[in-house]
Amino acid sequence: MNSFWNGKRRYIALLLFLAGVFVALEVPPVIPFIQLPGENLPEGYNIPFTDMRITNTLVAAVIVWLLLLLFLVYIARRRPSDGGEVPPGGFYNMFEALFEGLMGFIGGIAGGPHFRLIFNMFMTIFLIVLLSNWMSLVPGIDTVGFIHPHTKEKFDPATQEYKVITTDGFEIYQGFLGISYVNGQCNWISPADEAAADESALVAAAAAKAAAEQDALVAAAYARYQAAHDGHGDDATEGGSGADDHATETATETDEATAAYDDVLAARTAEKQARRDRSCYTGVAAAPWQDGYEPYDKSKAKDIPMHPDPSSDEAKRVPWVVLPWVRVASTDLNMTLTIALIAVVMVQVVGVKALGIGYFTKFFNFSTLFKSPLGGIDVAVGLLELIGDFAKVLSFSFRLLGAMFAGAILLFVMSFLVPILPWPFFILEFFVGAIQALVFALLTAIFMQLATISHHHDDEHDHAEAH
């Protein structure tokens, strides 16, 4: 069998690696605005015939379903028509081996008359969650989308009007073919915030100067005290040397205070210069202690545009974020909660199918309340079972959500810190996505199997008393 790296594959892998290096060096890494709920796409992207806005996680869920549909068509077309036909090789053989292995695995856990229903539910959930999780490994997911101005309207009671205010975001620039890019190295700073930071630096510098002067005065006073009490006070006062010492101390105090003052302002200047070196255009105006400084006049500030053109000069006056076209569906609580609800409902369905209406006595067991001293315990246990089923919904939802949301953030951060070689973290996320899908589906199968087992012991007790 030829190795994967033989032939054309190795050149394709090398080409992809070089493309990754080029993008990492030429395009600043992007950290999308991270939030838990799925983002609404811009105006005009509504669910047909409704006023509900489409979210990027809904787009991902639809893509998953379309991929599953295409996958089923592919399997149906490649599947041998009878046992005598030789099965095709490649991906189909791999999936058939996986399918048969999982079928045998679930058969050992939930074998019996309800095996087909349990296995179908297991496989459906496994494939949906697996594809949803693995979407985070596809380039462009969560990072390519609309360039969105990060502004919002807030009602001002003083003027009885709505004002546009800004929130956290980044600067943008026009790149190849006029495409707008978010510059992840340049967080946007408003002129008012920049002026406030410069004023804070002046205050901090003055405080550092005052502290240095106070320390120098204390040190000088202590030195004079020691000189006056060590037996050499007469020598110290002869010839007017005390006045010279005092002049020297005063000069030293002034130099130390000035140095402390300049150090604070130098740190602020270096911070602004670092932004200039990254080609940032906000937060780099001259400071009050630099040449070319122009005081910020709040009264002359222009109104913030709500929806500026990304290629216009107004675009520099607002922060921007990436609103992804597609975001991994399993990082949205709506998706994980929906699958969790379906899983728990199917647990009840298979329980009723196996045990009939008597299945619900598992939760509301009042039959022994007045027949046995332990009847109250049976009622309490039933209520705990009911609470446990509600807890399964939360457990299913937040386990998957937490793992995948944290994984997505990990990929963002590591791709930002190590943009050329983040492959170990992609491999980690590959296995985490598969494990989370298997755990979700396996727990569903186990709970469905447990629901088919009767929890009543009345017949056993009666039988024991008759003997």
pLDDT confidence tier of residue 383, bands split at 50, 70 and 90: confident
Structure tokens at 344: 């728990």
* Structure confidence at residue 5 (pLDDT): 52
Residue 86: pLDDT over 60: yes
* Of 266-280, 343-357, 396-410, 419-433, the least confident: 419-433
| Span 314-327, average pLDDT | 88
Q: From CA 188, how far away is CA 28, in angstroms rounded?
A: 15
Q: What is this structure's pTM?
A: 0.74
- Of 330, 335, 372, whose CA–CA distance to 458 is shortest? 372
Q: Which residues contact residue 397 at a Cβ distance below 8 angstroms, ignoring those fewer than 6 apart?
A: 333, 336, 337, 340
- Of 405, 394, 401, residue with least CA distance to 344: 394
pLDDT the model gives residue 459: 45
Residues 266-292: tens digit of each pLDDT: 999 999 999 988 888 888 889 998 888
Beta-sheet strand order (sheet of 170-174):
145-149, 320-324, 170-174, 180-187
Say what the pLDDT of residue 1 is. 44
List, for residues 336-370, the tens digit of each pLDDT value: 999 999 999 999 999 999 888 887 877 777 666 66
Q: Is the pLDDT assigned to residue 232 strictly greater than 80?
A: no
Q: pLDDT at residue 382 above 80?
A: no
Which band of pLDDT confidence, cut at 50, 70 and 90, is reported for residue 462?
A: very low
pLDDT band with cut points at 50, 70 and 90 for residue 426: confident
Range 187-200 average pLDDT: 90
Mean pLDDT of 121-137: 93
Q: What is the mean pLDDT of residues 159-187?
A: 82
- Residues 217 and 282: their CA atoms lie apart, in Å, by 41
